[in-house]
Amino acid sequence: GNSVTQMEGPVTLSEEAFLTINCTYTATGYPSLFWYVQYPGEGLQLLLKATKADDKGSNKGFEATYRKETTSFHLEKGSVQVSDSAVYFCALRTGFQKLVFGTGTRLLVSP
Amino acid sequence: DTEVTQTPKHLVMGMTNKKSLKCEQHMGHRAMYWYKQKAKKPPELMFVYSYEKLSINESVPSRFSPECPNSSLLNLHLHALQPEDSALYLCASISTGGNTEAFFGQGTRLTVV
């Protein structure tokens, strides 16, 4: 079955540091890949997505590239801000099936 | 309009109460989902409705009863809940075009006392 593995958190960084959150997946077929962000007390917001191999999703300075050869979709940002502190979920979906989430990675950014 | 609206935002209910959660979207999506999220955990799928018909029930206890009155509305009826059912309940909708993103509501924070 489909599954997503994310790095354990929390990830603790100083403001303006470089961020990487690792995500790897197992899937049958050709999944679409997503990063969702959840701020405290809120629902999930789509951060970025990629629907086929070698696609790069980007939004608000965050990027992730769909790597079929390594089955990965790592999230990166060149310079994090305190306001980026949140929980980040990697997820995949194949065709019209349920969305499968990773366990989430909490990011804490200090001034 | 890319919003999914959930009401109420917060709900406190006793174990003998009956209450309902509501979810609404006007994006023309024909698939709607209920998720349950406990603290520091990812969302867990509960139910999927496709074209107003229940297509997936992830072995959810019968004290949770979903309903889809029309293509824009999704309800979750709650009865005789337990304290361990306290969680954030999230609604999502997806276009049935395949491989597209889910849009989530802000959730209902439920506390069972």
Do residue B41 and residue A104 have CB atoms under 8 angstroms apart? yes
Q: How far is CA B19 from the centre of its chain?
A: 13
SS3 B63: coil
Do residue A46 and residue B40 have CB atoms under 8 angstroms apart? no
Q: What is the pLDDT of residue B84?
A: 96
Residue A28 at interface with chain B, using a CB cutoff of 8 Å: no
pLDDT digits (tens, 9 = 90+) for B7-63: 999 999 999 999 999 999 999 898 999 999 999 899 999 999 999 999 989 999 999
Per-residue pLDDT of chain A (111 residues; tens, 9 = 90+): 889 999 888 999 999 999 999 999 999 888 999 999 999 888 999 999 999 999 999 999 999 999 999 999 999 999 999 999 999 999 998 766 678 999 999 999 999
Q: Could you tell me if B94 and B77 are in contact, meaning their C-beta atoms sit under 8 angstroms apart? A: no
Do residue B101 and residue A43 have CB atoms under 8 angstroms apart? no
Identify which of B6, B42, B104 has the shortest CB distance to residue A104. B42
Min Cα distance B62 → chain A (Å) is 21
What is d(CA A108, CA A14) in angstroms, rounded to the nearest whole number? 8
Residue A32 at interface with chain B, using a CB cutoff of 8 Å: yes
Backbone angles phi, psi at B84, to 5 degrees: -70, -10
pLDDT at B1 over 70: no
Residue type present at position A1: G
